[in-house]
Every structure is written in C-alpha cells, then in structure tokens.
C-alpha cells in the first residue's frame, strides 16, 4: 500500500513538473556575432542555417556576420550563390552583414559590388572586438 501511494505521489509530481516546464518562459533574447573569413560554400551555408535556427528558436536574438579575408565572397554580387539566403536572413531574422573595408581594399572590391544593405566598417577585427566588449557572444564559422 505504501509503495502504491509513493508511486502515485511521484506520478503527480512528474505531471505537475511537466506542466511547469512546458509553460516556462522563453529565454531572454541574446546577441552574437559570427566571424566569417572563408569562401568555402559549406561555411557560408552554415552561417545562414545557424541564423535561421537560432532566431527561429528565439526570435528576439540579434545576429551579426562580420566578414573579412575571403569571407567577403558571401556578399559580393556575381560571386555569391547565396544572395537569396543573405536577403532572407536580413529580412526574416533581422541579421546584419558587415564587411571589413581593409579586406575590400586588399581584394579590390568596390562598395557597389556588395549585395544590398550590407554594411562596411573600417576594420572587421575591430568590429568583432567591440561586439565582444559589449557582451555579444562570439562564434567562429568553420567546419
């Protein structure tokens, strides 16, 4: 009898706890910055997928992709095969895509070659440092 009562109490507690977990509030939005230096299509696809997945799970999340080195290829018209994915990330997930002016100069890329709404900063590494100092999470894109 005691054993049956104990199991009944345990079952009630598990059901109650399950209801609390199911109703727990969504975590507060967070901010993170991606560091993309690769022209590898797998890396570029990964960053777009991660933005979709993270903002799908937590819509208030702020994301920024900082590109320097060969990472610029993701947002250069005529080079990228993922322009639609970038535009979708900007529109649906409110992601920001930022390129480094130093890398643009080194690769002889003009601002007019960038996809619409891509921002330029003087120094991509400086942008990453500034975001981290401001409390943003940092993710290096790679596989």
User: 53, exposed or middle or buried, with CB in 10 Å at 0-12, 13-18, 19+?
Assistant: exposed
* pLDDT at 68 (0 to 100): 96
DSSP 76: B
Which neighbouring-strand residues pair with 34?
A: 65, 139
Q: Could you count the other beta carbons within 10 Å of the beta carbon of residue 47?
A: 26
| CATH architecture of the domain covering 29-140 | 3-Layer(aba) Sandwich (3.40)
Per-residue pLDDT of the chain in tens (143 residues, 90 and over written 9): 555 544 444 455 555 555 544 555 677 888 999 999 999 999 999 999 999 999 988 889 999 999 999 999 999 999 999 999 999 999 988 999 999 999 999 999 999 999 999 999 999 999 999 999 999 999 999 87
């Amino acid at each position: 009898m005691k054993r049956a009562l104990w199991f009944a109490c345990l079952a009630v507690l598990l059901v109650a706890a399950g209801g609390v977990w199911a109703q727990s509030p969504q975590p507060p939005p967070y901010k993170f910055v991606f560091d993309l230096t690769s022209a590898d299509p797998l890396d570029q696809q990964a960053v777009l997928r991660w933005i979709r997945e993270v903002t799908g799970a937590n819509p208030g999340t702020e994301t920024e992709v900082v590109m320097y080195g060969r990472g610029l290829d993701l947002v250069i018209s005529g080079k990228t095969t993922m322009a639609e994915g970038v535009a979708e990330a900007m529109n649906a997930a409110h992601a920001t895509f930022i390129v480094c002016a130093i890398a643009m100069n080194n690769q002889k890329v003009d601002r007019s070659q960038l996809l619409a709404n891509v921002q330029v900063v003087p120094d991509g590494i400086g942008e990453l440092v500034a975001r981290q100092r401001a409390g943003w999470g940092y993710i290096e894109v790679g596989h």
